[in-house]
Structure 1
């Protein structure tokens, strides 16, 4: 499994120049935090959304948190919002991932999370014959070892042989794929907002979650925290 961040919420040049550039806290806050502050304070402030960072930024990013839990007063505000359940304001912060080399079994679990957007490698249009450009279908091996793993690999080879035979007989790929297993690997692009990702992590990082999707949850968290470090405190297992 390989998870890469393709894109995430960034400020427009116009907003950056009008509200952020030259501020005393510019280097200490992230684009995601500026968006979060704008969304949260819009609900409670008489100021316009486009003016909030400019008019209120110093108050939140330029002062220490008053709740004694560290960080700036913006961190206090974000903690308050999450703890109060007003997390719809975090939906304005989005992340787009490249997720490579996961099983169709994982995909079936992943698509139960309805607030994500998906673009998935097609078994209908991507040729998976042994003699094709792909060299046959890749597959994910579960956590089995020794004789069990060897037998599993034999079963995957048989599935490939069955697929190849159907294609030789003229069966369309969209029908030949019916013999491919849940272990068959796929690649996808996934986009989600911060609220939906935190909810996903809470459910899928739990010990009772299946190992592959648990690994995905941890990798998604790791790449988000690298670009928006302030979010780490909100990744909690249910």
Structure 2
């Protein structure tokens, strides 16, 4: 599995330029040297719009120093903005976090994981590698289909004994036995293609373990909900638990303030 953050919410240059009108400035993608991120600026704009008579485009300029420049008044860590974000999450007014989005490249995950992932529909967008248009024959550009091996199979200490011929038997580990079957599936797929079966029909033999790639965009609220359901310890399958942690890691790297909300999910 490989997860790469391709893009995330950024303030527009026009919005940044508007700061100068009010005598404010920005430096290094930070607001007024407070350390506030673009995602926090968007969140503050959305949250305060619900409760302020002011214009959304002016909220950060007029209220940014108040929220990003002062210590939290609830006795907890961070700034007044952090206090406001905690209050919003605690009150379930998290629709205001839907304006912050992240786009990921998710590579070499199983079709089994994909089936689980796409059950999360609200706030998610998916573009998935096609088994119809991408050919997975041994002689195709793909070099055959790749597959994901579940950790429980990799870690199994049990073996299975197969009779190779009348006089020979061989013991296989669970992982070796699994890979043997993957090779057999590849042979069947290749033979079907040789028989003139189109890729869109030959793919019927490909397993849940077959690897795929996708691009996924999700807003922050949707990601927090996903993590709450798929994090380790919630009964989810191991592979999607690993994905949940990778998504969290990528999000927190660019918007560190949301880590506390993943922890509380």
Distance in 1, matches of 2:253 and 2:225, equals 19
Between the two proteins, the alignment pairs up a number of residues equal to 238
Question: 1:179 aligned to 2:205?
Answer: yes
Bigger Rg over Cα? 2
Deviation at 1:237, TM superposition (A): 6.2
Moved over 4 A (4+): none
Is the CA contact (8 Å cut-off) linking 1:202 and 1:236 kept in structure 2? no
1:19-72 Cα offsets, whole Å, 9 max, x none, are 362487335100000000000000000000001001111110111000011100
Which position in structure 1 is the counterpart of 2:250? 223
More moved, 29-38 vs 137-146: 137-146
Question: 1:8 aligned to 2:34?
Answer: no
Which position in structure 2 is the counterpart of 1:204? 230
Which position in structure 1 is the counterpart of 2:195? 169
Which position in structure 2 is the counterpart of 1:113? 120
1:84-136 Cα offsets, whole Å, 9 max, x none, are 00000000000000000000000000000002100000000011000111100
Distance in 1, matches of 2:25 and 2:191, equals 63
Distance in 2, matches of 1:69 and 1:171, equals 64
Which position in structure 2 is the counterpart of 1:158? 184
| Unmatched tracts of structure 2, length 5 or more | 158-172
> CA distance change for structure 1 residues 157 and 22 in 2, over 3 Å: closer, same or farther?
closer
TM-score w.r.t. the length of structure 2 is 0.87
TM-score w.r.t. the length of structure 1 is 0.97
Which position in structure 1 is the counterpart of 2:140? 132
> CA distance change for structure 1 residues 123 and 237 in 2, over 3 Å: closer, same or farther?
farther
> CA distance change for structure 1 residues 28 and 196 in 2, over 3 Å: closer, same or farther?
same
Of Structure 1 and Structure 2, the greater strand share is in 2
Deviation at 1:227, TM superposition (A): 0.3
